[in-house]
Amino acid sequence: MFSPLFSLFSTRLDFHRLRTNLARWSLLFTLLLNYGIGADLEYDYDEMTKALKDSQMIHSSDKTLSKSRPCLEIADKNVTFLKAVSRKTKKLVSVSPLQKYDVAFCASEDEQKGPNCAPESRCTTVYKWKPALTRADFFGPSMFVQDEILVPTGCMCFLGAEREDDPAPLIIL
């Protein structure tokens, strides 16, 4: 009743259907995986702001004050971070003391004299992710792994502060 040619053709159809379904499932799996990773990369900026206040660094003797901008900026070369915010864990971690960074941040509001920014704006420190070796305690004996940490890199005016006591936003470039 069935010819061998028909059974070969139906096998190809089943193989084609299997391949199509496999492609659909792999696409769905990839979309779900990327969605999960994308959701994982979102940050809780309130927690990160608190962690940034707890970061620890050893300043060098190369500290300078820059007055060429509207905001008073403190620049420091060859700074060693003891604790900083990690990009992988999004928490405060220990940083290798062998690495040095050039940092720049806004002077405190007490040190700022006179009008610095436009009305309804304020001086805000800008951060960038920089490569670092951070201590990983989750792999048995603690060791340093490649990571990135938030490093203050400048000071700029942020427009949109409605009142003087508005908290400064966390700016990551």
Looking from the CA of 105 toward its CB, the CA atoms found within 13 Å total 22
Burial of 112 (0-12, 13-18, 19+ CB in 10 A): middle
Task: State how far the Cα of 113 lies from the Cα of 105, in Å rounded to an integer.
Answer: 16
pLDDT for res 42: 54
What does the alpha-carbon distance between residue 91 and residue 149 come to, in Å, rounded to a whole number? 10
What pLDDT is attached to residue 20?
Answer: 62
Residue ranges of alpha helices (H) inside 41-154 are 45-53
- State the sign of the Cα–Cα–Cα–Cα dihedral 128, 126, 57, 90: negative
**11: its two tokens:** 């096998």
pLDDT value for 18 = 56
Q: Where do the H-state alpha helices sit in 41-140?
A: 45-53
| 3-class state of residue 168 by DSSP | coil
| Nearest alpha-carbon partner for 158 in 111, 128, 109, 118 | 118
Cβ neighbours around 40 below 10 Å, total: 8
Strand intervals (E) in the chain = 56-58, 64-66, 73-85, 92-94, 101-106, 121-136, 143-159, 171-172
The total of other beta-carbon atoms located within 10 Å of residue 124's CB is: 21
Q: Cα(95)–Cα(130) distance, rounded to whole angstroms?
A: 12
Cβ–Cβ < 8 Å for 126, 103: no
pLDDT value, residue 63:
83
What is the per-residue pLDDT across 7-61, written as a single tens digit (0 to 9) for each?
Answer: 555 555 565 665 666 555 554 545 444 443 333 445 566 777 777 777 888 888 8
- pLDDT tens, residue by residue, 141-153: 678 889 999 999 9
pTM above 0.75, yes or no: no
pLDDT at 64: 84
| 66-122 tens-digit pLDDT | 876 788 888 999 999 999 998 888 888 999 999 999 999 888 776 766 557 777 778
Confidence of residue 139 (pLDDT cuts 50, 70, 90): low
